[in-house]
Structures are given as structure tokens and as C-alpha cells.
Amino acid sequence: MLRFTVRRIASLIVVLFALLVLVFLISRYGGDPVRGYLGANASADAVAAMRTRLGLDQPIWVQFADYLSRLARLDLGTSLATRRPVAAELAQRIPATAELALWTVFFSVLIGILLARVYTLKSRFSGVLRLILFSAASAPAFLIATGGVLIFFVQLHWLPVSGRTGYGPSTGLSGMYVLDGLLTGNLPYAMDALRHLILPALAASLGPGVALARVLADGLSTSLRSAYARTARSLGETESAVLRRHGLRNAASPALSLLGVQVGMMLSSLVVVEQIFSWNGLGQFLVRAIGGADTATVATISLLLGAFYVVVNALVDIALAVVDPRVRLS
């Protein structure tokens, strides 16, 4: 297990470095940052002076070394969209996206487990259930979000659809409003933040959750029909014990593999969901930066999201090795 973990971490470092190089090249050749700073009508002399000031007249390897040095100091430049340091903008927005992402993963796993259990039950409604699951899995996040707004806000008036809370910004340290409310003992604040979280998190998690349920249900069905499950039943174990001790563990490997892939889908969904629900996170900041041709900010956010995706998949591989020893042997 230790050797597998070391190899996986080494490959993670290689992938992260390749991602860093790719993002650097995109930030340099994906647009002209000087024109973005000075505007399209800037004179040639002003453009040349700014290129010298930003170090863009240096060889590419010198620029890359300077980029790594500034990245290590968390000097990410200035956002053209807000005219503030990118690091300050990210520090304000990362907790918002992190909170939404954590709740999205939680809802995805919860939906996957509950629907997988219902999916494996034998009933005359199983065909209808499969149709609903396939339809939900294929629906895009913006359609689910729009439907949620129409049902739970416009018709039922149950849930809010804008912002992170109605009480104002949190004064806690984490920047995650639900957690800050719980840590400070402010339960009304935490509950209000949770109510604001439900619709965007469900909109981003329903598709991955249903896909996870389908894979988990197939694994559970196979496990519950296996010889070891029949042997456990013959020894007097209840059906719930067979499901818990034998079914879930053997069905977890494909579900974990899919969860790692679905993280990418969740990240793309969060960009759309944050726009719909006015969620002040990285997704909303990314859309604003793209609209303002802010290539440096776009590259930085892309690097963060890409690094998160790569790290999560590495952790999933290690979790797979723990659950299934065959992964370590391969």
C-alpha cells in the first residue's frame, strides 16, 4: 500500500507540473495581457513600456521562472475585471465555492446511495424508476436549476434562490457560512445559510448522484446475487447485514471510480449554478473574467480547478486501493 501511494503521489506531482506549464502558456498566448491593461487604443510606446514592466519582452523560460516565483509568493497579479489583486479576490471567493462543492459532493453521495437502494428493490414500478433515473442523469445543471427555482421559489416559496444568506457576510474564520454559524453558536444564521445552499447544491449534484446510483445499483445487484452473499444468507445473516457487510464493499470500487470522474462534471456545473443563483464564488468570478478578457485571472482559476480535479482523482485512486487490494497489485 505504501509503494502504491508513493507512486500515485509522484504521478500527481508530474501531472500538476504539466498542468502548470499548460496554464502558463495559455496565459501568455491566449490573449494579450498588455492590451487588456491599457485598452485597445493604447499607443505603441505605452504598449512597449508595459511589456517591459511586466517582463513580457524576456525569453519564455525567464518568464516561466518569474511566474513560478510569483506563484510561490502568491503574487497572482491584478484582476482586470475588479482592479483588485487576484489573490485577494480568490481568498474571498474560494470559501464560497468550497462550501458549495462540499455540499454538492455530500448530496451526490446521499442521492446515489438512496436511489441505488430503491433501484435494487424488485417491484412493478422499477421500469418507471429506471426511466426517471435516466432522464435525471441526462438533464443539464442549468435546466435542473431553473426547474428548482420555478418549483421551490416561484410556486412553493420554500427556498431562497439568490446569494448565500439573508443575514450578511459571515464574521467567522472559514468563510463557509454554515460552518461559521455552527462554530459561533448562531443557529439561525447556519440554518439560513443552509437554506440558501440547498437549491444550488441539489442542482449541481442531481446528475452525478443519479449516475452514481446507477453504477452502485448494478454493483449491488451483482454482489447480492453472488455465491458469498448466498453463503452469508445460509449462515443466518439478515438481508440488511448482507448488504452492509458484503454488498456495499464490493460495489464501492466502480462507484468510487465514477465519483472521481464526476468531480469534473460537478466543477463545470458549479460555474453555471453560481451564475444562476448569484453565488459569489470562483465560477461567477471566472465568467466575469472571461467577459473582460482577463486572461491572467482565467488562467489562475483554471489552474486551481484543474489542480483540485487532479488531487481528488489521486485521492480516489488511493481510496480504491484501500477498498480493493487488486488495484494495488495492478
Let me know: does 224 contact 242? Beta carbons within 8 Å: yes
Burial (CB < 10 A; 0-12, 13-18, 19+), residue 191, is: middle
What CA–CA distance (Å, rounded) separates 116 from 126? 12
CATH number at residue 167: 1.10.3720.10
Segment (H or E) for 262: helix 248-276
62 found inside a domain: no
* Separation of alpha carbons 102 and 193, rounded Å: 14
Closest to 199 measured CA to CA, from 147, 123, 125: 147
How far apart are alpha carbons 207 and 216 in whole angstroms?
14
Contacts of the segment 314-319: beta carbons below 8 A, 24+ positions apart: 314/8, 314/9, 314/11, 314/12, 316/256, 316/257, 316/259, 316/260, 317/8, 317/260, 318/4, 318/5, 318/8, 319/256
In-domain check, residue 35: no
Number of domains present in the structure of the chain:
1
At 324, is the secondary structure helix, strand, or coil?
coil
Round to whole Å and give the CA distance between 105 and 111: 10
Report yes or no on 55 lying in a domain: no
In one-letter notation, the amino acid at residue 118 is: V
* Tens place of pLDDT per residue across the chain (330 aa): 777 778 888 888 888 889 888 888 877 776 666 666 666 677 777 777 777 776 777 788 888 888 888 888 888 877 776 778 888 888 888 999 999 989 998 998 888 888 777 776 666 666 676 676 667 667 777 888 888 888 888 888 888 888 888 888 877 778 899 998 888 888 999 999 999 999 999 888 888 888 888 788 777 777 777 777 777 777 777 767 777 676 676 777 777 777 777 777 787 788 888 888 988 888 888 888 877 767 778 888 888 888 888 888 888 778 777 766 666 555
Report yes or no on 285 lying in a domain: yes
Which residues 6+ apart lie within 8 Å of 215 measured at CB? 254, 255, 258
Domain presence at residue 325: no
What's the predicted TM-score (pTM) here? 0.80
Residue 239 lies in domain: 90-290
Q: Is residue 251 part of a domain?
A: yes
Asked if residue 185 is part of any domain, the answer here is yes
Q: Looking at the domain assignment, is residue 303 inside a domain? A: no
b (16+ CB within 10 A) / e for 61-74: eebbeebeeeeeee
Query: Whole-angstrom Cα distance, residue 267 to residue 207?
Result: 12
